A and B are shown apart, each in its own frame.
Chain A
Amino acid sequence: FLGAGGGNDIQWCFSQVKGAVDDDVAEADIISTVEFNHSGELLATGDKGGRVVIFQQEQENKTQSHSRGEYNVYSTFQSHEPEFDYLKSLEIEEKINKIRWLPQKNAAQFLLSTNDKTIKLWKISERDKRPEGYNLKEEDGRYRDPTTVTTLRVPVFRPMDLMVEASPRRIFANAHTYHINSISINSDYETYLSADDLRINLWHLEITDRSFNIVDIKPANMEELTEVITAAEFHPNSCSTFVYSSSKGTIRLCDMRASALCDRHSKLFEEPEDPSNRSFFSEIISSISDVKFSHSGRYMMTRDYLSVKIWDLNMENRPVETYQVHEYLRSKLCSLYENDCIFDKFECCWNGSDRQVEFSSLRTSDIPKIIVMTGSYNNFFRMFDRNTKRDITLEASRENNKPRTVLKPRKVCASGKRKKDEISVDSLDFNKKILHTAWHPKENIIAVATTNNLYIFQDKMN
């Protein structure tokens, strides 16, 4: 696996950890989504309590050239509140399921955040000056008695402490009967899709009272329901192409130019089942929990319970690569079914850009370094290097929190004699799961969310 020996391999070091220290986790603090913006300067997290916290990277310190800027809290706001659906007598959770950033067009930043039912467009803007010296108003805003106004003056802007304000600019509501699992902004930066268990809708960012239904897999008779949509994403370059994954392990690629309702896929990606691995749990573990296009748009990655698969969009009948995340769990599926862990939805992500400058070597590498990352249990997370075919397991824990110390690779002992420093499968803590990870779009900085803490790691710079 990747280790200190590889020449071009990334050596990951702890950088920061955010969140409460104590083991008693407040439910509202459970992190439910993590996303860098397009420049990587901002890092947003959403939690089960409906809050969004945005961290901003400090500008690089000239004296401290050996480390990149730290991330500090930039803005915190309550995105969604708990609601009650009176028709069904059910609560609507305020948990933020996904955050997606829009590319920056002016001084303000925009992001979409969604819970199970409603998507909101938030504007995050800075205010560092304010007008002072009004004629008709006092400083506190009260209107002056007009008879006391004897001179005319022009208000001027004076500097003030930086204030970051978040305001909801659009609310896209009432379009989803089922729970929203994905939102994805189109490459035209004007439209976006939202997907729930059975339907996918297309929105225009400016229009909130209308959306177009582009996929509907709800059967006429709900008793016949055997498959649901689990994730969806627009192609990074082609604004009429998107994919959606299902609970049966299939991915469908659709072209919106073909018809208004994309009932028939253009491509269907499905790997035939391995009959020797067949069990009652085969379908459950084949359910895809996340799908992500590569930055080039040529490949896509899917995550199912035990593996990560890389698909070439030109080949539908099988993935080009399959990486086992935690194959040692295959013999534990029944226990994992019993404690519901088998339904955990792990996400996955690509490294920042397909073409990266190697900081650790003296020359720019022409071969694009492509690494994919995903989480596992016991606060472990895994990375797979597509070029070298090597993989590494790392742990997000406060015990490794010495900055600039390279993280030690972890190993799980599946069976037999446990070597020193290995951890046996039965000792894994299944309550410590890493479901959400994100990779900086340009640099080797990663954000890894444990249950209620956010870890930031970066590569060791020489």
Chain B
Amino acid sequence: MFVRGLKRKCFDGEEDIEGTLAGIKAIPSYNLQRQSLLDMSLVKLQLCHMLVEPNLCRSVLIANTVRQIQEEMTQDGTWQMINTQSTGQASLDRLVSTDILCRSSRDQAEEKHVPAYGTFNKDFESDQAQGGSETMSTASSVQVPRNLQNNMWEMENPQENKGNFQKSLDQIFETLENKSPNSVEDLFSEVDNSYYDLDTMLTGMMSNTKMGHCDSLETFSSPTNTASNSNCKSDLNDLDHIVEILVES
């Protein structure tokens, strides 16, 4: 059962899904789209041309988009704490929903949709059906400057962060250049987690959600990578971490 039409208000009439069967086939999961948008946004935040100061307005708008997605993901339970004191039944439901997230896009058509948000256009959807190649083409076509700095908005950056962060971003770019990863999550799989400790010293705006990540990811696995638990754990950890590093003063 899914809610037809709610999230598609902005589409052309002709392209609306008419029948249930057609609807199931044509709607890749909203969550998958949302995740791709999140990944794309993070890549945009990182891959700036750092010889010239990045555009602050653009960075703020992208960061706000990232925050919006994360808030929504927190609310609808895809970014949740397994250890909450909820009833057994409720947590079972949540487990199911995250499980669905990990299935292939065809299976995900059956899950409940979040109303009101998410008008992704048809072009985007058809690209998703091609296996997420859209995100990768973005990443690989952007030029990768080697001399990065870790600070987007305030340039009074502590020098000691540079080396660690530089190293992790270099790894990210090596991954971009060498492999053709199926999802952006793979990028973070090789990142050294040891400086996550540094992260706990920095004041983070996502301190609420941060606690949940380590615990919540037992059942969360990447859609394409079955070796997955550690990938996803580092994925979401570093997702937060990178956004924090990027906004640190």
Contact = CB atoms under 8 A, between A and B. Distances in A.
B61 A284 contact: yes
A93 B52 CA distance: 7
A284 B41 CA distance: 13
Q: How large is the interface on B (under 10, 10 to 19, 20 to 34, 35 or more residues)?
A: 35 or more
21 contacts: A88-B155, A91-B52, A197-B56, A222-B153, A222-B248, A276-B9, A277-B9, A278-B116, A278-B119, A279-B119, A280-B37, A283-B64, A284-B61, A287-B57, A330-B10, A331-B11, A334-B37, A335-B123, A343-B61, A414-B12, A415-B15
A277 B124 contact: no
A197 B154 CA distance: 13
A389 interface: no
Contact of B51 (A91, A276, A277, A337): A91
A93 B9 CA distance: 42
Given A91-B52, A247-B57, A332 B123 contact: yes
B211 interface: no
Nearest to A339: B138
Interface of B: 9-12, 14-15, 34, 37, 40, 44, 50-53, 55-58, 60-61, 63-65, 68-69, 116-124, 134, 138, 149, 153-155, 203-205, 244, 247-249
A337 B37 CA distance: 9
A283 B65 contact: yes
Nearest to A224: B205
B248 A227 contact: no
Nearest to A279: B119
Contact of B56 (A179, A277, A281, A284): A179
A89 B155 CA distance: 9
Interface in A275-310: 275-281, 283-284, 287
B124 A222 contact: no
B209 to A, nearest CB: 15
A279 B52 contact: no
Nearest to B137: A338
Contacts of B120: 279, 334
Contact of A331 (B34, B69, B122, B138): B122
A178 interface: yes
Contacts of B34: 280
B51 A279 contact: no
A221 B249 contact: yes
A366 to B, nearest CB: 42
A222 B154 contact: yes
B111 to A, nearest CB: 19
Contacts of A179: 53, 55-56
A228 interface: yes
A230 B53 contact: no
A225 B123 contact: no
Given A225-B153, A277-B10, A280-B68, A90 B121 contact: no
B117 A338 contact: no
Contacts of A279: 10, 117-120
Interface string A397-426: 000000000000000001110000000000
A90 B152 CA distance: 12
Contacts of A116: 53
Nearest to B49: A91
Nearest to B66: A280
B65 A278 contact: no
Given A340-B58, A343-B55, 10 more contacts: A88-B53, A198-B56, A223-B244, A283-B68, A287-B61, A331-B119, A331-B121, A338-B138, A414-B12, A415-B12
Contacts of A193: none
A434 interface: no
A220 to B, nearest CB: 9
Nearest to B249: A222
A333 B118 CA distance: 11
Contacts of A333: 119, 121
A61 to B, nearest CB: 46
A275 B116 contact: yes
A226 interface: yes
A327 to B, nearest CB: 10
Given A179-B53, A223-B247, A416 B124 contact: no
Contacts of A287: 57, 61
Given A276-B9, A279-B10, A284-B65, A223 B248 contact: yes
Interface string A75-102: 0000000000001111111000000000
B79 to A, nearest CB: 15
Interface string A325-359: 00000111111011010010000000000000000
Contacts of A331: 10-12, 119, 121-122
Interface in A86-129: 87-93, 116
A228 B244 CA distance: 19
A223 B9 contact: no
B248 A415 contact: no
Nearest to B56: A197
A223 B203 contact: yes
3 tightest Cβ-Cβ pairs between the two chains A and B: A222-B249, A279-B119, A334-B124
A283 B247 contact: no
A346 to B, nearest CB: 14
A437 B68 CA distance: 34
Contacts of B55: 179, 343
A87 B118 CA distance: 42
Contact of A338 (B9, B14, B134, B153): B134
Given A279-B118, A415-B14, A90 B61 contact: no
Given A197-B57, A228-B60, A280 B10 contact: no
B228 to A, nearest CB: 26
Contacts of B61: 247, 283-284, 287, 343
A331 B76 CA distance: 25
B37 A225 contact: no
A197 B9 CA distance: 34
Nearest to B37: A280
Contacts of B154: 222
Contacts of A276: 9
B201 to A, nearest CB: 14
